[in-house]
A and B are shown apart, each in its own frame.
Chain A
Amino acid sequence: MTAEEQRRRAFWQVLLFTAGLLVLTSISAGSVYLVNEARDDNKWVLHTIEVENQVNALLLEVRRAESGARGYLLTRETNFRNDHDKAVAAIIPALERLTRLIGNSPAQRQSIEQLSAAIQTRLGQFAREIDFVGQGQPEKAAALASEAATAGTTITIGSVASAMIREEERLFRLRSISADRSQTLAASLTGIGSGLVVLLALISIWLVRRSARARDDAETRLRDANLNLETTIDERTADLREANDEIQRFAYIVSHDLRSPLVNIMGFTSELDELGKDIFRRIGGLTGVPAGGPPVDVAEIPLDGPDKQMSTDFSEALGFIKSSIARMDRLISAILNLTREGRREFQPEKIDTRDFIEAIVSSVAHQAAEAQAEIHIEPLPNIVSDRLALEQIFSNLIDNAIKYLKNGVPGEVRIRGRTKLGYAIFEISDNGRGIDPKDHQRIFDLFRRAGTQDKPGQGIGLAHVRALVRRLGGTMSVSSELNAGSTFTITLPISWNASNRNADQ
C-alpha cells in the first residue's frame, strides 16, 4: 500500500466521521426546533378552542340577560330581575376575557370592537328597559325590547359572534394543518437522519473491511516475498557452494591426474639415465680396451673426444628433463595442498595475538639475524580465529618481509594492530625492496612473482595467504612503492565463528 493510498484512506475516515457528526447534530437541532414548533402550533390550536368557548360563553350570558329581562318585563318578578342582573354582571368580565384572549389578531380585533359596541348598546338598552319597568312603564320597555330585536342589536351581536367563531374555526383548521406539517416534518427529518447515519455506518464498515482486507493482502504478499527471498538466497548459496566445490574437485582431479603421467615420465627418464650410463660404459669398453686384452671394469674406462661430448649432452638433456619434472611436481603438489587447505575445517579459538606472533618471530629469528633484520611487535588486539590458518598467514608475511629486504640495508619489520567496527586490522610493514604498484595484483596470483628473481620461491605464499584470509571472512591489501618498503594490511573479524563460513563448506 502506498503512502498516497494511506493518506487518502485516512482522509476518507475523517470525512465520514465529520459527516456522521454533522448529520447527528442537525437531526438533534432540527428535532428540537420542530418539537418547539409543534408545541406552539398545539398551543394556538388550544387557544382557538378557548376563544370559541369564550365567545359562546359571552353569547350565553347575553342570552341569559335577555331572557331575564324579558321574564322580568312580563312577570315583574324579582327572580327574573336577579337573574338578569347576574347575567349582566358576568357579561363585562367575559367580554374583557375574550378581548384579552384575542390579543392583537387584527381581524378578530375589529370584530370584538363591533361586538363590544353592540353589547354596550344592548346593555344600555337593558338598563333602560329595567328602568322603564321600575318606573312602571312596561310598554316603553317592551317597545325598547322589540326595537332592540328588530333594529338588530341582538342580531348584530349574534352575527358578529358567529363571524368570530367562523374566523376561529378557520384559524383552527390552519393551525391544525400547520401542527400536522410540523409533526410530519419532524418525523421525516428523524427518518432521513437515521437513514443517513445508517448509511454512513455502512460506508464506514465497508471502508474498515476494505482496509483490513488490503492489510491482510499486504501481509500475505510480504510473507510470500520473504519466503521467495529466502528461497532465492538459499538457491544462490547452494549454487555458489556447488560451483566452489566443483572448482575444488576440478583442481584436485586435474592435479591428481597430472601426477600419474609424471610418474611415468620421471620413472622412465631415470630408466633412460641408467640405460645411457650402461650404453656409454659399453662404448667406452669397446673403444678404450684393446681387442683380445684382459677384461677391464668398464666403469673405469674414460671416454674420449666425441664420445665424451655425447655423454655430456645426454646427461645435460636428462638433467633438464628431471629438473623440469621436479618443478612440475612441486607445482602440482602446491595446487593439491591448496585445494586440501580449502577443504580443511577451521576451528576457532581464542588467540593471544602477541604471544602468537612472538612465537612465529622466534621461529624465524635465525633468518632475521642473517638478514640483519629487527622485528618490532607493537600492541596487538586479541582475536578468536583458526590458529593454524593465522599461523600460515603471519609466518608467510613475516617470512616475505625478511626475505625481500634491500641488499646492504639493515631490515626493520614492524607488526601493528588495531580494531575497528568488529574487525581487527593488522599491518606488517618493512623497509625492504618494495613492490611496483603494477604488480600489486599479480603477487596474489598463484605461481606469479614480481621484482628481481634472486630468491627461491614458487609464487604460492601470497595466493595461499589471501585465500586463507578470505576464508576467515577478512580482506587483504598491499601498499608499496619500489625501493620504499611494503605494508601488507590484513582485516579479520575479531570473533570468527564456524557459522559464517564453515557452514558454506
Chain B
Amino acid sequence: MRVTKGAKIATGTALLALGVAACGGGGGSSSGGGDNPRAATGTVYIRGCEPQTGFVPGNINETCGGTINEFVYSRLVKYNSDTAAPELDQAESIETTDNKVWTIKLKPGLKWTDGTPVTAKNYVDAWNYTAYSPNAQLGSFWFGDIVGFDKVNTADPDGPDGPKEAPKPETDKLEGLEVVDDLTFKVTLSAPVAVFRTKLGYTTFAALPEAFFKDPKGFAQKPVTNGPFKFVQWDHNSQIIVEANPDYPGPEKPKVKKIVYKMYKDDNAAYADLVSNNLDFTELIPPSALAGDKWKTDLGDRAIDGQQGVIQTVTFPLYDKEFGGNADFRKAVSYAIDRKTITDKIFNKGRVPINGWVSPIVEGFKDGACGDLCTYNPAKAKEYLAKAKAEGYTPPAEFPIWSNADGTHKEWIEATVNSINQAFGPDAGVKFVHKDMPTFAELRDTITQHKIKGAFRTGWQMDYPHIENFLNPLYKTGASSNDGLYSNKDLDKKLHEADTATDPAQANALYQEAEAMLQQDMPAIPLWSYGLQAGTSKWVTGVKVTPFGVLDPLSIAIKEA
C-alpha cells in the first residue's frame, strides 16, 4: 500500500473552481499545429510530486517517490502494462519445486549506470540492508517471509512509544539468502509462499549497486541505477530529470531521450498545462474536469480511460462492542448501500462497483465473491437489521463513518450514509453520519491504536497484482493492515493452505475460496474499484498506463511532425 496524497491538496479549490471550468467547454489547444517542440530535444514533461524519501527502493512507500523509482530501477520481475501479468525482467529464470526454496538466475551482461555489472550479490546485499532493523528502512517487513528475518529485524519490546529500545539484531545477514555464483542466488523462505515470484516485482525487491553501501545518504539523492532511465538531476520541490539509459538491455527501449518529472502542487494547474500542451502526461485529472465528463471533450483522443488496482472499502472495528456490530448488522449495511447510483452520480462512473474484496484487474480475481450481499437491496437490509437486533445487538443511535478531512472523501461518504439511512428507514433506531478527522495521520493513528468509535473508510492500493495481496495483509489474524482486528481461524487456515500450495492455479482457487469466506462475517464492506483517468498532450503518442495507475515510461514516444 502506498500513500497517495496528490489528489487531496487540490480538491478544496477544485470543487469551487467548477464554476469556472464549466464555462470552458470546447476549449482546446491554443498553439497551432505544425512543428513539434518536443522533437528537437527529445524531452517529455510529465506530472510529478516531491518524493518523501530518496532513490532507495527499500525505503519508499508513497506514490511520488514510487513512480519515478519505477523509471530508473529494473527488478527481477516486471508487470505487463496491459495485462498486469508478471514477466521476467532482470531474472533469466526463477525456479522452485516447493514454493519454499527459490533459485534465481540473472540475465548475463546487465549493467549499472556506473558501468559495474549487476550481480547476485547486489540483490542479496540490498535485501539484507533493507531487512536489517537498525537501518530503519520502510520496506523491511517485505522480507519477513525469508528464513532468519527475526534475527536481523528485532521488534521494539514496548513499541516506539515505550522507553525501551529494540535489541540489536544478532546478525545483519538473512540466513535464507545465499549467493551461488555471480549470477545466481538462492532464497529460502520459512514457509512456502505461492506468490513469491509475483511479489519480486515490487519496488522493495530491487537490487542496489556497490556504490550505495559507500554512502547511502548521498546515494539516495543521486543514485546509480539499472533501469530504462538513469538519474540526471533533482531540484527539490520543482523537478526530477531522468534520461534514457543507453545500456538498457530490455527488448523495448525508451523512445524518448529525457523525461522531466515536473512537480505540481495543484492538479488543476497540471491539468491546465496539459490542455494547453505544456505538459505531456498527467494521471490525475482534477474533479472539476471529471464533472460531466468535461475532460473527454477537452482532451478528445488524448484522454486515457482505464482501471487501476485500488479498491475502496468501509471497515468496522470488530474489537468494539458498540460499533463493531454483528455479522448480520454489517450485512444489512452492505445491502443498504446503493453502489451504482453513488459511482454514477458522485464519481461520474469513474469508479466501478465491486462484488468482492479484490480488484477486478488482478490475477486470481473471481467475480461475485460477495454473493448478493454487495447488491443494493433495501428490503433485505431491513430484514438483516431486524435479525441483527434479534440476535441481541443494539446499534448506537448515531453511527459514524470516519474519514480524513484532508482527503476527498466527504462527498461519497455522505452519499453512502444517506443511502444507508434511507434503506433502513426512519424508525431503524440507528442513524449513520459522516465524521471527519482533520488529517490522514490522525485518522490512521486512531485506527492503529484501536480507539476509533465507528466504521471508517479504508482503501487498498495493490502492491503487486495478485488476489493474495488483497487478502493476507488485510484479513489474516494479526496481519499488518488488519485494522478491524478481524480474526477467523477457518479463513487463516484456508489462506495458509493457499500460501503453501505449489500449483499456482490451485493456489488461486484456494484464495478465491478464502475470499468467499469473508461473506460470513463481512469484516469490511466492499464498495468500488478505482478507475483511471489520464491524459496526454498532442505532442506524444503510444502512452500506456500501468495497472498501478502510473505512466509506463517505455511506452511514451514523441509524435513525428
Are A and B subunits of one complex?
no
Interface residues of B, Cβ cutoff 8 Å to A: none
